Structure 1
Amino acid sequence: MSYPEKFQGIAVLDHKDYKHPKKVSFDPKPFHPSDVDIRILNCSVCGSDCHSAQGNWGMKPKPHVVGHEVIGLVTKLGPNCTSGLKLGDRVGVGAQVFSCLECNRCKSNNEPYCNKFVTTYGQAYEDGYVSQGGYASHIRVHEHFVVPIPENIPSELAAPWMCGGLTVYSPLIRNGCGPNKKVAILGLGGLGHMALQIAKGLGAEVYAISRTSAKKEDAQKLGADHFIATKEEPNWTEKYYDTFDLILICAGSLTDVDFTTLPNVMKVGGAIRSVSIPDESQMLTLQPFGLVGVSIGNSCLGSMEELKQLIKLVSEKDLKPWIETIPISEKGVQEAFEKMERGDVRYRITFVDFDKEFGN
């Protein structure tokens, strides 16, 4: 079989009709000397995919192939690749495919904060090519943004760590999550259930915070030491006054988070970090006195060094995201988007059977 001149993907052609994507062929980006081509085996579904497909973060050029939790096999290496990757290696790609790699941010392992950041889908490179994501036969990416996957991590379980896992690992590790720390995970969904496992794996005393006790059993199975149901404990911020070193907000929206009282449960010097990126119309309201002694901020993805650390932790601690699998296809993507819209996922979806849909 000759090497494909065009890649195939399941693409959104109309934001208003995003739940009816179509199979398309598209041109890959120009192949540069440090690039890697990957034949995709699995790609899991991130909430970002749905936001972007719907146009919640602005209109995207079409066709729009989303997906940025990619596992696949290396099929082509540029002549300047120096990372040690080999043809046939099983690797992962997350939500970033390019940065300048020369600025202070890149050199200090802060590539997601580089001014030349290119996300895995829907963003233009400097030459104008708009990136296409992982609901596809292949992906082409600079070797720096490719990570090897250990043999003991199944591909369908490896995929969610590439973005969702990394997104929560970065603020946890940067804010001191570890032994002798009390860490709360607010929101037990696709991101939160992985954050809970990671925090426990890092050695923290972990609290799961949810609106009701419906997910208490899940939280305990995932490793939570404590569970707080905020609607069932209306005075919970008083009960847990001065308790937490770190709270990581993994809720899909910030509108239900009371930033007026939340700082009360923090220790002095504690940190509240959010990885929620809701609809761009949402606004955050804070009272200045709520910031006294507490820092509040948002976190963006994570560095490639942090992704390598995370994959090592996942391998050593045998961490497993809770997933369901759906064969990749027009119908499969529609099903995934509908399940995400209903909130009917426990807790991630991974697409499988890429070879059946796109061929070898």
Structure 2
Amino acid sequence: MASGDKFEGWLGHGPDAVEGKMVWGEFEPKKWEEDDVDIKISHCGICGSDLHTLKSGWGETPYPCCVGHEIVGKAVRVGKNVKHVKVGDRVGVGAQARSCLESDCPECSNNLENYCARGMVGTYAGVYPKGEGKSYGGYAKHNRTNGHFVLPIPDGIDSADAAPMLCGGITLYSPLKKNGCGPGKTVGIVGVGGLGHFGVLFAKALGADKVVGISRKADKREDVLKLGADSYIATAEDADWAKKNARSLDLIVCTVSSGKMPLTEYLGLLKVEGTFIQVGAPDGGELPNINAFTVIFSGIKVGGSGIGSPSEIREMLQLAADKKIKPWVQKRPMADANKAIVDMEEGKARYRYVLEN
């Protein structure tokens, strides 16, 4: 980094930060190691996780906290142990800043770093295990992250488009790919917002025969069809939607973060031996109860998925470059971050806000 550069960003000092009360200030990044990369941030996507964390919705946040884990920028300092990135490269960081990376770790040794139980540190609001400090995210001028989780951005993807792929995109790409999305499959995406719109884009890019957008109201129908979906279900407005579409889908990925969603009806949309994957994470983590007979009598599998590994992110980014995948983003100035998170909380994004330095 250039002499005199400081780590500065939007800091939440308490749960009211989510109300647009973040304060710009200086922060101390993790202690520098030769495995690290410093990034001058050009873009950072706004993710629903940011809002949950700012208000301590998933547990007590270690304030002050600078959120943002969809980071794209230029590498300005590269540790000597980092071989895949050089100063000047355009790079990105997603929702993970560290795992244990030990050779005997069953997760890290099998490209499942995002599930590491020994040393998982999020890109923000994380505490490093060896006294290295806290992790601070991308609503900022600079970011410091372990090089294993810093990934080159392929040519052919605009930085503003790449940023939200690093969490929102991979959160949908990973379960789609791992659960057989491709030719011959019918796929449903529940909740077509910032996360779900990536589900439609990637399900089509992976070659699914039919992609169905599923949301409460019909006002998104035209948008979802423009994204590439073959049909749309508005659960609050389409009469007898559950009965009419019963046993029609091989795979459902659900982005909804609500303990009141009609989960039994969603499961009824699956074919025999279909798969339901939950990626939406509500405050408190509670979901509706599942009736045993609902899953037993159709042989349904219910599971979950969390972000994705560095190898999966590389794969996703290359697919996005090859297929010219274009998410729907709205750029906002970094200086407008407080207003942007309020607008995000009010559901105004169509479908992903990206802060721009």
> TM-score, normalised on structure 1?
0.93
User: Alpha-carbon deviation of 1:224?
Assistant: 0.4
User: Alpha-carbon deviation of 1:98?
Assistant: 0.3
| 1-structure distance, mates of 2:100, 2:288 | 32
User: Alpha-carbon deviation of 1:17?
Assistant: 4.1
| 1-structure distance, mates of 2:289, 2:178 | 25
Whether the aligned pair in 2 keeps the contact of 1:15 and 1:59 (CA below 8 Å) is no
Letter in 2 for 1:121: Y
- Determine whether 1:206 maps to 2:206: no
| 2-structure distance, mates of 1:96, 1:288 | 35
Letter in 1 for 2:64: P
Q: How do 1:252-271 residues align onto structure 2 when only pairs under 5 Å count?
A: 253-271=257-275
Partner deviation per Cα, 1:253-286 (whole Å, 9 max, x = no partner): 2334222232222122211011101111634311
User: Alpha-carbon deviation of 1:5?
Assistant: 6.6
- Determine whether 1:149 maps to 2:162: no
- Determine whether 1:309 maps to 2:315: yes
User: Alpha-carbon deviation of 1:155?
Assistant: 0.8
| 2-structure distance, mates of 1:56, 1:247 | 26
Aligned residue among 290, 298, 303 for 2:304: 298
Corresponding residue of 1:51: 52
**SS of the residue 2:38 aligns to:** strand
Corresponding residue of 1:350: 354
Structure 1 residues 23 and 294 mapped into 2: Cα distance closer, same or farther (>3 Å)? same
| 2-structure distance, mates of 1:255, 1:58 | 17
Whether the aligned pair in 2 keeps the contact of 1:112 and 1:302 (CA below 8 Å) is yes
| 2-structure distance, mates of 1:262, 1:17 | 34
Partner deviation per Cα, 1:275-309 (whole Å, 9 max, x = no partner): 10111163431111122201112211111111011
Structure 1 residues 225 and 283 mapped into 2: Cα distance closer, same or farther (>3 Å)? closer
Structure 1 residues 17 and 310 mapped into 2: Cα distance closer, same or farther (>3 Å)? closer
**SS of the residue 2:316 aligns to:** helix
Corresponding residue of 1:12: 12
Corresponding residue of 1:111: 113
Partner deviation per Cα, 1:142-179 (whole Å, 9 max, x = no partner): 11101111221111111010100001111111100011
| 2-structure distance, mates of 1:25, 1:327 | 19
| 2-structure distance, mates of 1:255, 1:2 | 48
RMSD: 1.5
Letter in 1 for 2:232: F
Corresponding residue of 1:215: 220
Corresponding residue of 1:358: none
Aligned length: 349
| 1-structure distance, mates of 2:255, 2:318 | 23
Which one is further off, 335-344 or 90-99?
A: 335-344
Partner deviation per Cα, 1:178-232 (whole Å, 9 max, x = no partner): 1110001111100011110000010101111112221111011100011112222
**SS of the residue 2:239 aligns to:** coil
**SS of the residue 1:324 aligns to:** strand
Corresponding residue of 1:29: 30
| 1-structure distance, mates of 2:53, 2:73 | 23
Whether the aligned pair in 2 keeps the contact of 1:261 and 1:290 (CA below 8 Å) is no
**SS of the residue 1:280 aligns to:** helix
**SS of the residue 1:238 aligns to:** helix
Structure 1 residues 260 and 295 mapped into 2: Cα distance closer, same or farther (>3 Å)? same
User: Alpha-carbon deviation of 1:125?
Assistant: 0.7
Structure 1 residues 281 and 248 mapped into 2: Cα distance closer, same or farther (>3 Å)? closer
Which one is further off, 110-119 or 237-246?
A: 237-246
Corresponding residue of 1:334: 338
Structure 1 residues 139 and 285 mapped into 2: Cα distance closer, same or farther (>3 Å)? same
Letter in 2 for 1:213: A
Q: How do 1:130-149 residues align onto structure 2 when only pairs under 5 Å count?
A: 130-149=134-153
Whether the aligned pair in 1 keeps the contact of 2:17 and 2:54 (CA below 8 Å) is no
**SS of the residue 1:333 aligns to:** helix
Whether the aligned pair in 1 keeps the contact of 2:185 and 2:250 (CA below 8 Å) is yes
**SS of the residue 1:59 aligns to:** coil
Whether the aligned pair in 1 keeps the contact of 2:261 and 2:288 (CA below 8 Å) is no
Corresponding residue of 2:164: 160
Partner deviation per Cα, 1:12-64 (whole Å, 9 max, x = no partner): 11212442111111111111121111111110100000111111122222221
User: Alpha-carbon deviation of 1:321?
Assistant: 1.1
- Determine whether 1:121 maps to 2:124: yes
Whether the aligned pair in 1 keeps the contact of 2:29 and 2:134 (CA below 8 Å) is no
Partner deviation per Cα, 1:86-125 (whole Å, 9 max, x = no partner): 1100011000010011211111111111011110000111
Structure 1 residues 238 and 308 mapped into 2: Cα distance closer, same or farther (>3 Å)? same
| Structure 1: stretches of 5+ with no match in the other structure | 355-360
Aligned residue among 218, 223, 237 for 1:232: 237
- Determine whether 1:81 maps to 2:82: yes
